[in-house]
Amino acid sequence: MIVQRVVLNSRPGMKNGNPVAENFRMEEVYLPDNINEGQVQVRTLYLSVDPYMRCRMNEDTGTDYITPWQLSQVVDGGGIGIIEESKHTNLTKGDFVTSFYWPWQTKVILDGNSLEKVDPQLVDGHLSYFLGAIGMPGLTSLIGIQEKGHITAGSNKTMVVSGAAGACGSVAGQIGHFLGCSRVVGICGTHEKCILLTSELGFDAAINYKKDNVAEQLRESCPAGVDVYFDNVGGNISDTVISQMNENSHIILCGQISQYNKDVPYPPPLSPAIEAIQKERNITRERFLVLNYKDKFEPGILQLSQWFKEGKLKIKETVINGLENMGAAFQSMMTGGNIGKQIVCISEEISL
């Protein structure tokens, strides 16, 4: 059988380069007709593009827990699909499965042990949510806030979220309220996103960093200062937020997208002036890696699903159709073109 796949065509100029759609290319490849014991053949339904993938485009990812993509080899990431044929004892035809290392390919033969079965009822049939709010980005937000935010019910804390209209940010702000923050303020890059945050996602205020004076708007929006900062972006925005944080406050280091196209370590060091503020005010800023909390994944998914089913957790996603648009979707996500989770729909046909 001939199937389509996406491979890494080129790396963005050196380490300090902006990714473009042309860094990826689509090609056809032969898929064997027979599968071996323990394997399954799956049809890909949805694929995820995420900021961390920018590091995988470099020859060296800068971390020990994610590997670089290889030139002219199939690209992989979060994915979800349906089993069409199985020789694995615990997986049967028609099961929906997910993996963090799903090849960008229309159909694929995988080791059944590398897959996790998912229950469509947890997402009311919206399978793509398993790649977003009820998947890794949702878990990152929930566990990050639980482990590093030090929020307790009724503690009257103010939380600021940067990258607030993205996959993690849009969920984190809502969770901040659920867990007891009295005020949640989002920072994002368009007027449309600001309106969405405050009208649909329950944020108390939103700041457009491209138009507003962020420092001034933060002072107005957070009159009591900032107690918890869910940081998705790093850079100048984070410097501004940190300079308005209270004593003994906490930074949840989720991501640093403004720095991903630059050759800097992760997490990037703070400037001397901001580092001085951090130390003086005893602000915690510890690297947070959700993969270190695998024991919390199952209860976390059930909690996120419950909030969604109760109508409390509002889920936003931007869907682009077609494997041929993976590169364009990745480029758009890296430049803020998405609202909520950026998803690529490969096949919507879920019947066999």
The set of residues, in sequence order, having a beta carbon less than 8 Å from that of 254 and lying 6+ positions away, is 140, 141, 144, 163, 168, 169, 172, 230, 231, 232, 288
Q: What are phi and psi of 246, to 5 degrees?
A: -80, 170
pLDDT in tens, the chain (352 residues): 999 999 999 999 655 688 999 999 999 999 999 999 999 999 999 999 998 898 899 888 877 788 999 999 999 999 999 999 999 999 999 999 999 999 999 999 999 999 999 999 999 999 999 999 999 999 999 999 999 999 999 889 999 999 999 999 999 999 999 999 999 999 999 999 999 999 999 999 999 999 989 999 999 999 999 999 999 988 899 999 999 999 999 999 986 654 555 555 667 789 999 999 999 999 999 878 888 999 999 999 999 999 999 999 999 999 999 999 999 999 999 889 999 999 999 998 666 5
* Domain presence at residue 146: yes
Domain containing residue 125? 2-132+315-345
Domain-located, residue 24: yes
CATH number at residue 207: 3.40.50.720
- CA dist 170 and 153 (Å) reads 20
DSSP tally for the chain: helices H, then strands E: 9, 15
Q: How many independent structural domains does the chain possess?
A: 2
Residues 169 and 126 in one domain: no
Q: Does 302 fall in a domain?
A: no
For the entire predicted model, the pTM comes to 0.94
Token pair in block for residue 95: 């099961």
Same domain, yes or no: 121 and 251: no
Residues 241 and 262 in one domain: yes
287 plus 328 within the same structural domain? no
Q: Which residues lie below 8 Å from residue 115, measured CB to CB, with a gap of 6+?
A: 40, 42, 91, 97, 98, 99
N-term to C-term CA, the chain = 17
The answer to whether residue 259 is domain-embedded is yes
* 127 and 159 assigned to the same domain: no
Compute CA distances 9 → 92, 152, 206, 217, whole Å.
35, 48, 38, 43
Give the β-pairing of 76-86 and 116-117.
Answer: unpaired
Let me know whether 255 and 323 are in one domain.
Answer: no
Task: Kindly state the greatest CA–CA separation across the chain.
Answer: 65
Specify whether 35 is located in the same domain as 58.
yes
Q: Are 171 and 237 in contact (CB under 8 A)?
A: no
What region, left, alpha or beta, does residue 225 occupy, with left being phi > 0 and alpha being psi -120 to 50 degrees?
left
Domain boundary among 275, 291, 307: 291
Question: Among residues 48, 137, 52, 295, which one has the least CA distance to residue 145?
Answer: 137
